[in-house]
Amino acid sequence: MGKKIAIVGSGAIGLYYGGHLANAGQNVHFLMRSGYEAAKTQGLRIRSSEAGEIHLPEIHVHNRAENIGPSDLIIIAIKATSNNDLPQILPPLLKEGTLLLTLQNGLGNEEFLADRWGAHRVLGGLCFVCLTREDPITVNHLGHGTLSIGEFGGGSAGAAEEIAAIFAKTGMESLAVPNLLCERWRKLVWNIPFNGLSVALGGLSVDRILDDAHHLSDVRALMSEVIAVAHAEGCEIGPGFAEANIDRTRSMGAYRPSTLVDWQAGLELEIEPIWGVPLRRAAAAGVPVPHLQNLYQKLRAA
């Protein structure tokens, strides 16, 4: 059974990665509120356009962290907008040696965890995957799936390799990365333009953004600004990286980024970790980012 793993945030990301771990025989416990009764009686499903369907008719599902108890690894997959709930959620799950792996978007989430529970516990994961949540217990996997894991400053030596190996045993592509901050910036090269423009333009899927020459120009300008800020923070991102991301996005079809899904559902958006913190880091580094500034203001208005 290996490590006891608690999934905090059983949305698309939490169900997808937690479901794969459970399917591989890991001792996984899901903390759920919405969908708890359905998951308790029906389990969960992962439907993949690439790998078919996984149905787990029985899973360990709980509606209170106290019912899970101390765990070896806590995977945090809630929206960053709910981080202030974590000081109430996490204590019953912690013990000496518990590791915290955040799969959240943007910058600042590792710092939030480190300030409260110690940098030595904290790892970050970057999910390069297209998912939608069909219903409370069903996740649709539309493509991709690479998971990159890195240790936050002062993290446990070798922890990223160990956790990446656990995920790799599920059949997913998973790797440990030496520089977590640089991986965060690489993901923001995609997240900042596509998540942001999908909302700022009134509700466009990625294919509609790419099909419009003006919108595509905005994508490239935003990517260029993000790469410039990353460079100022010591993260080298090659000149072909932006175009490679655009080419990869074309294969996603009419994919709706997670921020668009949240906006259309009337949920709070993760504006600060994805756009606000990078904008402030650009200002601190003296890097001009007019397109990012304009997008941030539009998202705040939305």
Per-residue pLDDT, 51: 77
pTM metric for this prediction: 0.93
Per-residue pLDDT, 59: 97
Per-residue pLDDT, 155: 56
Beta bridge partners of residue 60, listed in sequence order: 29
- Mention every residue, 6+ apart, whose C-beta is less than 8 A from residue 102: 76, 109, 110, 113, 122, 123, 124, 125
Beta bridge partners of residue 4, listed in sequence order: 27
Looking at domain 182-301, its CATH class is mainly alpha
Catalytic residues: 187
Helical segments of the chain, H only: 12-23, 36-42, 86-89, 109-117, 159-168, 180-200, 206-211, 213-232, 241-250, 258-264, 271, 277-285, 290-301
- Chunked in runs of 10, what are the mean pLDDT values of the chain (302 residues)? 88 94 96 92 92 93 97 97 96 97 96 95 93 91 88 78 94 92 96 98 98 98 98 94 96 93 94 98 98 98 90
Strands 52-56 and 27-31: unpaired
Every domain of the chain and the residues it spans? 4-178, 182-301
Per-residue pLDDT, 157: 66
Looking at domain 4-178, its CATH class is alpha beta
Distance CA 184, CA 173 (A): 18
CB 229 within 8 A of CB 281: yes
Task: Give the count of beta carbons closer than 10 Å to the beta carbon of residue 143.
Answer: 16
- The tokens 């997670």 sit on which residue? 258
- Please give the C-alpha separations between residue 150 and each of 16, 158, 176, in angstroms, as whole numbers: 20, 10, 6
